[in-house]
Every structure is written in C-alpha cells, then in structure tokens.
Chain A
C-alpha cells in the first residue's frame, strides 16, 4: 500500500529511492547469478584448468614416465623448440589440415546437395530424412573398425564392387591411399550434419522471395546462385567452422582404421600426441605438443568464437 503511494507521489526527499532499490536488486541478482554458475565453474576448473596447468608445468621438464625422478629434471623451453623443429610434428600438422579441409569441403558439398534434394516434394520424405542421418550418430569407434573390413584389399566389399565394374582393385590402406580413405570415411559420417544444418537454413527461407524470382523468369541455377546461396552462406560457414574444430580433434575413427599409418601418412596431431604420450611415455614432450595444439586450435577458432561471443552478447 505505502509503496504504491510512494510510486505515484514521490516525495522530493525520497527521489533516489527507486533508483537505489533497483541498484540493490541488481547487485543481489549478480550475487545469486554467481551461485547459479558456481557448480559449472568448479567442474570446469577441476577438469580443464587443472590438467592444463599441470601439463604446462610438465612441459618444462624432461619427464619420461619410465624414468623415475625425471619429472623434476628442468627442460626450459627445449620441449617446445624440439617439437617445433621436428619433421614429425609438421608432417602431423600437414596431415591434419589436409584431412580437415578436404573432409569439410566434400561433406559440405554433398550435404548441401542432399539438403536441396530433401527440400523437394516427394513420397516418404520424412523417412528418407530419418535414415540419412544415421551415419552421423553411429559410434565413431565402430565406424573405424568396420570400415577397415570394407577397405580390405582381398575380400573387402569395396574392392568387390570396383572389380565387378571392371575397375582395378584399390589398396585402400597403403601409403598412397590411406589419407584418402580416412577422408572418405569422415565424409560419410559427417555429411548428415551438413545436410541437417543446410536443411534448417532452407526451411527458414521466405517462400515469397523464391516465387517472385520464379515469376521474373530466374532459372534453377540463377535461383540457387542469387537467392539460395547468399541465404545459406552463414549456415554453411558456421557448420564448416564447427566441423573444422571437431575434425582437427578426431581420434577414434582414424586410430582404429589406420592407427596413423602406414608410416606417418595418417598421423594427425591427435594421433601424434597419443603416440608420444602412451607409447614413448615422454610426458614433457607430450605436454608441449598438447599446448601447441591448443594454441593452434584457439587461433583457428578465434573468428568462430568472436562471432559466437558477439551474437550472444547482442541477444541480451
């Protein structure tokens, strides 16, 4: 009751009360917000920040797991300089970039084609959409193991189809083809992701715009080039950005299909890190590779992060 009177007839001496109250309420809200994020903060600190700092410290030592006492053997920056000067590391960078870029280019193209085709009017459309997304969710470890059987040189079903078409069989997992083979496998798994994102983009298009262009006599290609493509471009960019982060970190499928071989033909940075850690037990060096990798990832994903950050701040 009294607050109602205050609101409608503010006495001069109390003029600043609503303002103060709003400020107090905002401060209280901030405090409560902190309690809401606290559990997440604790988990992230323990599982991300903690291990990362531990690794940072280890990266300045000559710590080898099989060599007791070596964890206190200072190495300065030598792990970092060694890694950055090693041929193996740069080969892994090259493989990773080739793998990620080719896989994304093909997946995006194929996914867009599928989305455009799914967006047409035909029978059992929702059935086809459902089954086409299956590869996206299959356990990657299962895919890695199983594709090894498909790629088998003798008795593999891919080569059976090739030879029955009159083509020579391909040694899918040899020096010349193994990188191609892991790319094909990844394209197979990730095309549905692009398809679903592009499909969502297509369904957000204003039908009137397309009808208007049709009335103006635009051809199918013109329609795609001047109406659909500009509209879809942001969807494509975001999907490609997310996929590139994921592709650079891929481990399961590659590990189980080729284990990085033959030689180091399919040794991506992840595989390289894993081998250095769990086979050579060289913790100092592994930690240095891990940190270099994290920096590379953050640099590459900086535009994506900036975009996400800006849009999320603007939303509020």
Chain B
C-alpha cells in the first residue's frame, strides 16, 4: 500500500530529525564561528542574533596587534615537519614489524607502553633538560617531542597497513635479487600509500592541536597557534571578537583538513582501534 511513498516519507522525517540533532549538537561550534565574524555588540545581545552584518574586526585586531600570523606560521612549520619525520621513522619500523618476521616482541611491547605514558609524566624532566641544553623556545625541541609522542601510534597504525600486503610480494622481489631496502622503497611502500595518508592525517592533527608541551616549552619565538588564544580574557574583560577570530583561525585548518580527509581518518580510526 503505497510502499515507495511511505519510504519517502520516512526518509524525509529522518532527515528532518537529523537536521534537528545536528543543529543542537553543533550549536557550540556554530556559535564559535559566529562569534568570530560579528561585532561584540551582536555577540552579547540576548536573544542570540543569527542575522547580523558580518564584521572582521577580530581578525584585523589579531593580525595587527597580536601578530597572529607568526603563531600560525610556527604551527604550520612544526606540524608539517613532525608529520614528515614521523612518516620517515615509523614507516621502516612498521615494515620491519609486519613483514620481516622480526622477533620484535620487546620492541612491540615498548611501543605499547610508550603509548600509554601520559604527556604530563615527562613534561617536567623534558622542560628541565631543554632549559639546561638551552633548547627552550626552539622549533627543534617541539618537533623532537611531537615526533616521539606520535611514533608509537604511527608505528602501530602503519604496522596494520603493512600487514595487509601479502608476504609473497616481498619474497618474489627478494628472489628477483632486490635488496631489502629496494623492496621496501620501490615495491611495498607504494602499496601502503593509503596507510601513510591516514597516519599523516592523525599526526598532523595531533601536532597542530597539542597544547601542554607548547605551553611549557615555548615562548615568543616558537609559540604555536593554540597558545595565541589564552591572552584574550584578562582584567579588561573578555575580548569576544578576538577570541572568536582566533578560535576560528586555529581550528578551521584542522576541521577542513579532517572533513576533506575523512575517508582516511575513518580508515585510520578503524585500523588503529578496532583491528588492534
């Protein structure tokens, strides 16, 4: 009895329900975006105004007074360097674990343990060591630490992807006379490009969003973007437009990146968590 019609009605109702769920759930995010592009007067008016003349006062203040572009540049440099270095170090390690029948039980176990160690447990000794070596507020120390922090997860994730390449591929190439390094670079690596993209997405987002070590180890020279947001709530009150604009500028790159790369994000999530 009008079954296609009923199906259409159910689909429409469900879509309506999802529109409601998404609007309620994402309200804090929408509010954040709106705060960035309106005048403080419009933000503070109740009832909330959803229609207003957009204003970019916050952005201009950020760029002029706080030199926000410097923070952004630091974030881009650090996150990009970390992503590339992690891929270069984790790739071979993951390959060895998955394909070379390495008896790396100890290595495997130490990766797992390293992954469970919370950042706060090593931030103080690292801070002390960095200050003694004169490395505070440099790109190098931040890059080194983010690299180390992302390595266990990256190796784990890539190990899963390398494990999906049949062992015969490698053996056939070895029999043809290729060296272990040649097999890795020329034959196996291209087969796991998806894995590298998925891992890179996670590492980039993690490095971009990191706050604790950046707070402890950086200052004027190498502070990353998340640190730029903490100064706008002071004795003069809350600088709404600046906070909103900074929130948008800091989070938009990762939000856009994640939405564009969501296929890889989901792939990495299932590989990293569900498949062990």
Binding site for B on A (CB under 8 A): 26, 29-30, 32-34, 36-37, 39-41, 43-44, 46-48, 50-52, 54-55, 58, 114, 117, 120-124, 128-142, 145-150, 155, 157, 160, 164, 188, 191, 193, 196-197, 200-201, 234-235, 238-239, 242, 245, 248-249, 251-252, 256, 269-270, 273-274, 277-278, 283, 286-287, 290-291, 293-294, 297-298, 301, 305, 307-309, 311-313, 315-316
**Across-interface contacts of B118 in A (CB, < 8 A):** 248-249, 270, 293-294, 297
Candidate in A55, A146, A191 with the most chain B CB atoms within 10 angstroms? A146
**Across-interface contacts of B35 in A (CB, < 8 A):** 146, 149
Which 10 pairs from chain A and chain B are nearest by CB? A47-B148, A249-B118, A36-B96, A51-B125, A122-B14, A311-B276, A33-B102, A141-B226, A252-B211, A40-B93
Closest to A306 in B: B112
In contact, B144 and A242 (Cβ under 8 angstroms):
no
In contact, B101 and A26 (Cβ under 8 angstroms):
yes
Which residue in A121, A201, A270, A308 is a CB contact (below 8 Å) of B276?
Answer: A308
Within 8 A of A (CB), among B84-113: 88-90, 92-93, 95-98, 100-105, 107-113
Closest to B159 in A: A312
In contact, B120 and A249 (Cβ under 8 angstroms):
yes
Closest to A130 in B: B259
CA distance A307 to B156 in the complex (A): 14
Within 8 A of A (CB), among B183-231: 184, 205, 208-209, 211-212, 216, 225-227, 229-230
**Across-interface contacts of A145 in B (CB, < 8 A):** 229-230, 233, 243, 247
CA distance A148 to B240 in the complex (A): 12
Which residue in B31, B147, B225, B270 is a CB contact (below 8 Å) of A43?
Answer: B147
Known pairs A50-B125, A51-B126, A139-B226 / 11 extra A-B pairs, C-beta < 8 Å: A46-B144, A52-B121, A120-B14, A137-B258, A140-B211, A196-B269, A197-B273, A249-B119, A251-B119, A251-B120, A269-B120
Closest to A297 in B: B116
In contact, B124 and A277 (Cβ under 8 angstroms):
yes
Contact of A37 with B107 at beta-carbon distance under 8 Å, contacts A29-B180, A141-B229 already known: yes
In contact, A46 and B216 (Cβ under 8 angstroms):
no
Which residue in B28, B119, B147 is a CB contact (below 8 Å) of A188?
Answer: B28
**Across-interface contacts of B205 in A (CB, < 8 A):** 137
CA distance A129 to B22 in the complex (A): 10
In contact, B226 and A33 (Cβ under 8 angstroms):
no
In contact, B32 and A146 (Cβ under 8 angstroms):
yes
CA distance A39 to B93 in the complex (A): 8
B117 within 8 A of A: yes
Contact of A43 with B151 at beta-carbon distance under 8 Å, contacts A121-B11, A197-B273 already known: yes
Closest to A249 in B: B118
CA distance A274 to B273 in the complex (A): 29
- Would you give the shortest CB distance from B201 to chain A, in whole angstroms? 10
In contact, B44 and A297 (Cβ under 8 angstroms):
no
Which residue in A55, A248, A251 is a CB contact (below 8 Å) of B122?
Answer: A55
- The proximity string for B residues 229-252 relative to A, scoring 1 for CB distances below 8 Å and 0 otherwise, is 110010000101001001100110
How many A-B contacts if CB must be within 8 Å?
Answer: 283
**Across-interface contacts of B22 in A (CB, < 8 A):** 128, 131-132
CA distance A138 to B93 in the complex (A): 30
- The proximity string for B residues 26-56 relative to A, scoring 1 for CB distances below 8 Å and 0 otherwise, is 1011011001000000001011100000000
**Across-interface contacts of B73 in A (CB, < 8 A):** none
B165 within 8 A of A: no
Closest to A308 in B: B276
Which residue in A122, A238, A270 is a CB contact (below 8 Å) of B18?
Answer: A122
Which residue in A34, A200, A301 is a CB contact (below 8 Å) of B274?
Answer: A200
Task: Provide 9 A-B residue pairs closer than 8 Å at the C-beta atoms, listed in order of the A residue.
Answer: A33-B100, A51-B126, A121-B14, A137-B209, A157-B48, A193-B269, A256-B230, A273-B121, A305-B113
In contact, B112 and A309 (Cβ under 8 angstroms):
yes
In contact, B21 and A149 (Cβ under 8 angstroms):
no
Closest to A44 in B: B114
B76 within 8 A of A: no
- Would you give the shortest CB distance from B160 to chain A, in whole angstroms? 8
Closest to B146 in A: A47
In contact, B269 and A29 (Cβ under 8 angstroms):
no
- Would you give the shortest CB distance from B229 to chain A, in whole angstroms? 5
In contact, A238 and B89 (Cβ under 8 angstroms):
no
In contact, B117 and A294 (Cβ under 8 angstroms):
yes
**Across-interface contacts of B276 in A (CB, < 8 A):** 238, 307-308, 311-312, 315
